[in-house]
Amino acid sequence: MTAGVLLAGCDTDQVSLATNAKANQPVPPKLLAAMVEKNMDLQSPILVRLFKQEAELEVWKQTRNGQFALLKTYPICRWSGDLGPKVREGDRQAPEGFYSINPGQMNPQSAYYLSFNTGYPNAFDKALGRTGSQLMVHGDCSSRGCYAMTDEQIAEIYSLGRESFFGGQKAFQLQAYPFKMTPVNMAKHRNNPNMAFWKMIKEGYDHFEVTRQEPRVDFCEKKYVFDATKPADAKRDPVFDASAKCPAYVIPEDVASAVREKQAKDEAEYARLVAKGTPMARMNTGIDGGMNKIFAAKIPEGSTGLSEGAEGTTLQMLAMAKAPGTIPGHVNPPKPNLDAAAVAPAPQEEPVVAVSAPTTNTRVAAAQPAEKSQGGGFFSNLGRKMGLGTADTTATTTPPPQATASVAPATTSATPPTAASRLKAAVTRFVPGHDKSKDAAKDAPKPTVAAAKPAEPPKPQPDTRLAQTRPALKPSVSDGAGEATQIMGAAPVVQSNSFDSRFGAVK
């Protein structure tokens, strides 16, 4: 009977959560202690914010004074795609925007330990014709358009959402951003084609920052509207349609003035940073998503990808820290997409990847032609000894084709039996006794440099460099970090008032 109440109250056909031990794990004692310290109730409402560039998930919880305060920040193990909203099914993009998570979107039988559906596409996404489905926040540290955590992390987040539903919250808000919407980040990404969209959702970011209240979200004229209320002379609340003209509405003056003040400060700082010449972030040239630095440090050849690296420290130093959960052996760290990288200019990839290996390989490859020219410079050395020119002179013009052709056979056939015959051949080659031959002798070093250059076009340096970032990952976690906190497959004691019966009572 209780299961029937649950299913009737949710827009899902998931089996009863009461039979799932993972979904009924208690909130950890440390989090309970943090709630007491921050004046929070266990079952008070929550709000979740996600940041791709920082690779962080924040859980905010309502305090007893009615405002939200940050309870805990979770490093994101993996997200895929690029900075920017999801547009179509299969583009591997993790969504950005404002979404609502109700109990029916909680999935206790997820293939990725536990999960909840982000609710993408929302009314705004649909109005723009955007497509996609089953975009989740889940465990297993594996992403194809989702936000992936470790199993231990999603168990905590899931339990916090569950308890908020027990307390009467109908749905919690999920805010997904490309980065923290600060003036410096906006300045760095000012050339990004998604900037108009980001400025629009920054409005909601600002509303939350100044009020510490969950902003009301509506849509009209294919745009977001935050904290809209009816005008003073209106008899009913405005009705919003994402594809229709906006109805008459107002934003409470106390909220509107606080937001205007914050935005004025942000815009002034943004203008200062742009005038100062703040470098613009490079566009993604094929790197697939990002990973928090704490996880990248635990993985052989791990990389943070499009997320921020370790500032002031190295991944090797972070490798000594304990991982926030068990990292599965099949984890796939960010790396360049070869298909996309083949089309994009290679030089743009190196600063984005921020991995030392590709840069080192490129430099070695650039030095190889010079080594070859020295190894095959017998006649150049001979000419120097005879005073016929400088062997290491760099040609400033393109050498004649015939000069290049004349060097090749000399290099391959320079195997006489005696030194005398080699000297005689060299003298005959370089100094036949005329001024014209001296000019030819001066040109001799030039073909040596030019002869090394043809070796550069066929070098597959970009492909080789990228291929080196794609080795099969070793299924390991450094120093066994996280094993002590592993709860995968654990069977905690299920409270008698389980998610099933308790949520049924609320409904």
The DSSP annotation for 206-259 comes to HHHHHH-SPPPEEEETTEEEES-B--TT-SS-----TTSPPPS-B--HHHHHHH
Say which residues have a Cβ less than 8 Å from residue 240's Cβ, sequence separation at least 6.
218, 219, 220, 225, 228, 246, 247
- The reported pLDDT for the residue numbered 465 is 38
Q: Respond yes or no: is residue 146 known to be catalytic.
A: yes
Residue 502, token pair as written in the block? 């308790």
Is 207 tagged catalytic?
no
Question: Over the stretch 443-464, which tens digit does the pLDDT of each residue have?
Answer: 444 444 434 444 444 444 444 3
Q: Output the pLDDT for position 505.
A: 44
pLDDT over 50 at 373, yes or no: no
Q: What is the pLDDT of residues 149-164, one digit of tens each?
A: 999 999 999 999 999 9
pLDDT in tens, 19-50: 689 999 999 999 999 999 999 999 999 999 99
Comparing C-alpha atoms, which of 343, 299, 244, 236 is closest to residue 477?
A: 299
pLDDT in tens, 308-327: 876 666 776 676 778 889 99
Catalytic residue among 138, 189, 207, 220: 138
CA atoms within 13 A on the CB side of 136: 25
Angle at 145 between CA 81 and CA 314, to 5 degrees: 55
> Where would I find the H helices in 133-194?
151-166, 183-188
Gap between the Cα atoms of 332 and 291, Å rounded: 10
Q: Which of 77, 141, 146, 220 is catalytic?
A: 146
User: Tokens 């070859």 correspond to what residue?
Assistant: 372
Q: Is 354 left (phi over 0), alpha (psi -120 to 50) or beta?
A: left
Map residue 87 onto helix, strand or coil.
coil
Q: What is the pTM of this model?
A: 0.67
> What does the CA dihedral 462, 465, 470, 474 come to, rounded to 10 degrees?
180
Residue 311, SS3? coil
